[in-house]
């Protein structure tokens, strides 16, 4: 149980275009999902916390107008990288915790999306 | 601001030995700490959680300790196998801020 699916697993886009990444909890409902970015050989950097039905909370230094997050349902959160540039190329990962779980429940991660901007 | 440090970027050990990974933190007192495993090109997978009032937690060949005085957690893999080769990450609390990770390589 507790499977998180991320789509697409990889995407190549041209500079200036926008890319949408989906994160779905397949067998549980998630009121909160997290979005991370990971550069090669570096750790996960929390970008934002996505709450169902409300605005996402962005970490310091993350441009909310560039990384649009929508958490429209209890099983789906999307991250849209707008006007992508080569420096946005990275590995984007989402995670979720089942609704109603205790505060210290582990997170379940998707398998990430490799974004390459040419 | 809180800071999380994992002792080394890479650790190489021989099969059968015990791997010990360290996670230190500063400017924070987490209620719990989690350890995850990440394989290349994949998302992290949860391994163990230890609460501040627990000194030790075990799961099969894995053992985690938590010393709130030293602000440190140790992660041990006993009888290591090549299949244990991966990057191991520690994370604090609900904020889920991760350390940089330690890339473990177990050589046959």
pLDDT tens sequence across B13-72: 999 999 999 999 988 888 889 999 999 989 999 999 999 899 899 999 999 999 999 999
**Taking the mean position of all CA atoms in its chain, how far away is CA A98?**
16
Indicate if the pLDDT at residue B73 is higher than 90: yes
pLDDT at B82: 97
pLDDT at A104: 64
Indicate if the pLDDT at residue B94 is higher than 70: no
Per-residue pLDDT reduced to its tens digit, A33-57: 999 999 887 888 999 998 888 889 9
Range in A83-92, A102-111, B36-45, B67-76 with the lowest mean pLDDT? A102-111
Q: Which structure tokens are listed for A42?
A: 């570096």
Q: Do residues A96 and A108 make contact, with C-beta atoms less than 8 angstroms apart?
A: yes
What is the dihedral sign for C-alpha B7, A62, B44, B96?
positive
Report percent pLDDT > 90 for chain A: 68
Mean pLDDT of chain A: 91
Question: B70 — contact with chain A (CB < 8 Å)?
Answer: no
Range in A4-8, B10-14, B28-32 with the lowest mean pLDDT? B28-32
SS3 state of residue A8: coil
Residues of chain B numbered 5-24 and touching chain A (CB < 8 Å): 9
pLDDT band at A25 (very low <50, low <70, confident <90, very high): very high
Contacts of residue A39, defined as CB under 8 A and 6 or more positions apart, other chains included, come to: A45, A90, A91
Indicate if the pLDDT at residue B97 is higher than 80: no
What value does the CA radius of gyration of chain A take, rounded to a whole number of Å?
14
Cα separation, B72 vs A35, whole angstroms? 26
pLDDT at A32: 87
pLDDT at B100: 86
Question: B51 — contact with chain A (CB < 8 Å)?
Answer: yes
Query: Does residue A103 have a cis peptide bond before it, meaning omega lies within 30 degrees of 0?
Result: no
pLDDT at B3: 78
User: Which residues of chain A have a CB within 8 Å of the CB of B94?
Assistant: 103-104
Question: B32 — contact with chain A (CB < 8 Å)?
Answer: yes
Higher pLDDT: A49 or A97? It is A49
pLDDT at A63: 94
Task: Using CA atoms of A96, A36, B57, B10 in order, give the dihedral in degrees to the nearest 10.
Answer: 150
| Phi, psi dihedral angles at B92 (to 5 degrees) | -105, 130
Query: Is A91–B41 a contact, with Cβ atoms under 8 angstroms apart?
Result: yes
Instruction: Find, in chain B, the residue whose alpha carbon is nearest to that of A48.
Output: B95
Contacts of residue A95, defined as CB under 8 A and 6 or more positions apart, other chains included, come to: A4, A33, A34, A36, A107, A108, A109, A110, B43, B44, B96
């Amino acid at each position: 149980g507790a499977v998180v699916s991320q789509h697409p697993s990889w995407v190549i886009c041209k500079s200036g275009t926008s890319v949408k990444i989906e994160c779905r909890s397949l067998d549980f409902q998630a009121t909160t999902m997290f979005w991370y970015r990971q550069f090669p050989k570096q750790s996960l950097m929390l970008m934002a916390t996505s709450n169902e039905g409300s605005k996402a909370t962005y970490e310091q230094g993350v441009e909310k107008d560039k990384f649009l997050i929508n958490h429209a349902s209890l099983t789906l959160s999307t991250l849209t990288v707008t006007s992508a540039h080569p420096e946005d190329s990275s590995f984007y990962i989402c995670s979720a915790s089942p609704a109603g779980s205790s505060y210290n429940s582990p997170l379940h991660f998707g398998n990430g999306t490799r974004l390459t901007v040419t | 601001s809180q800071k999380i440090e994992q002792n080394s970027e890479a650790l190489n050990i021989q099969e059968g030995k015990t791997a010990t990974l360290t996670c230190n933190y500063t400017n924070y007192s987490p209620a719990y700490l989690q350890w995850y495993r990440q394989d290349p090109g994949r998302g992290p997978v949860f391994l163990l959680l230890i609460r501040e009032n627990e000194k030790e937690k075990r799961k099969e060949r894995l053992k985690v300790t938590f010393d709130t005085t030293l602000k440190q957690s140790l992660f041990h893999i006993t009888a290591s196998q090549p299949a244990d080769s991966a990057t191991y990450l520690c994370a604090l609390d609900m904020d889920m801020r991760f350390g940089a990770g330690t890339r473990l390589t177990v050589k046959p």
